[in-house]
Amino acid sequence: MALNKTPADNTPSCNEELYAKHEKIYPRAVSGLFATWRVMGVLVLLGAYYFIPWLNWDNHQAVLFDLPDRKFFIFGLTFWPQDFFYLAVLLIIAALSLFFFTTLAGRLWCGYACPQTVWTEAFLWIERKIEGSRNKQMKLAKAPWSARKLRIVGTKHFIWIIFSLWTGFTFVGYFTPITELWASSLAITLGPWETFWVFFYGFATYGNAGWMREQVCIYMCPYARFQSAMFDKNTLVISYDDARGEPRGSRKKTDNREDKGLGECVDCTLCVQVCPTGIDIRQGLQYQCIGCAACVDVCNQVMEKMDYPKNLIRYTTENAIEGKPTKIIRPRIIFYSILLLATTSALIYAMLVRIPLELDIIRDRNALYRETNEGLIENVYTLKVINMDNQAHDYSLHVTGIEQLKLIQRQENIYVPSGQVISLPVRVQVDPINIKTAASDLTFTLQSKSNKELIVIEAGRFIGPLIR
The contact set with other proteins (CB under 8 A) reads 1-3, 10, 12, 15-22, 212, 215, 219, 364, 366-367, 370-371, 373, 378, 380-382, 408, 410, 423, 425-427
Nearer to other proteins, 2 or 147 (CB): 2
Using CA atoms, how far apart are residues 32 and 241, in angstroms rounded to an integer? Answer: 19
Using CA atoms, how far apart are residues 317 and 325, in angstroms rounded to an integer? Answer: 9
**Interior/surface letters 390-400, b for 16+ CB within 10 angstroms, e for the rest:** eeebebebebe
Using CA atoms, how far apart are residues 298 and 281, in angstroms rounded to an integer? Answer: 12
Nearer to other proteins, 2 or 466 (CB): 2
Using CA atoms, how far apart are residues 83 and 386, in angstroms rounded to an integer? Answer: 12
What kind and span of H or E run contains 413? none
Nearer to other proteins, 125 or 287 (CB): 287
Least CB distance from residue 364 to other proteins, whole Å? Answer: 5
Asked whether the beta carbons of 230 and 102 are under 8 A apart, the reply is: yes
Strand-by-strand arrangement of the 439-448 sheet: 414-416, 393-400, 439-448, 455-463
Least CB distance from residue 215 to other proteins, whole Å? Answer: 6
Least CB distance from residue 423 to other proteins, whole Å? Answer: 6
Least CB distance from residue 25 to other proteins, whole Å? Answer: 12
Least CB distance from residue 39 to other proteins, whole Å? Answer: 29
Nearer to other proteins, 266 or 290 (CB): 290
Least CB distance from residue 217 to other proteins, whole Å? Answer: 12
Least CB distance from residue 119 to other proteins, whole Å? Answer: 18
**Quick one: residue 428, left, alpha or beta (phi over 0 = left, psi -120 to 50 = alpha)?**
beta
Least CB distance from residue 95 to other proteins, whole Å? Answer: 26
Residue 398: beta bridge partners? Answer: 445
Q: Apex CA 65: angle with CA 62 and CA 67, to 5°?
A: 150
Using CA atoms, how far apart are residues 432 and 466, in angstroms rounded to an integer? Answer: 7
Residue 274: beta bridge partners? Answer: none
Q: Apex CA 33: angle with CA 29 and CA 38, to 5°?
A: 65
Amino acid at 57: W
Asked whether the beta carbons of 422 and 384 are under 8 A apart, the reply is: yes
Nearer to other proteins, 130 or 368 (CB): 368
Nearer to other proteins, 251 or 370 (CB): 370
Nearer to other proteins, 265 or 383 (CB): 383
Nearer to other proteins, 262 or 272 (CB): 272
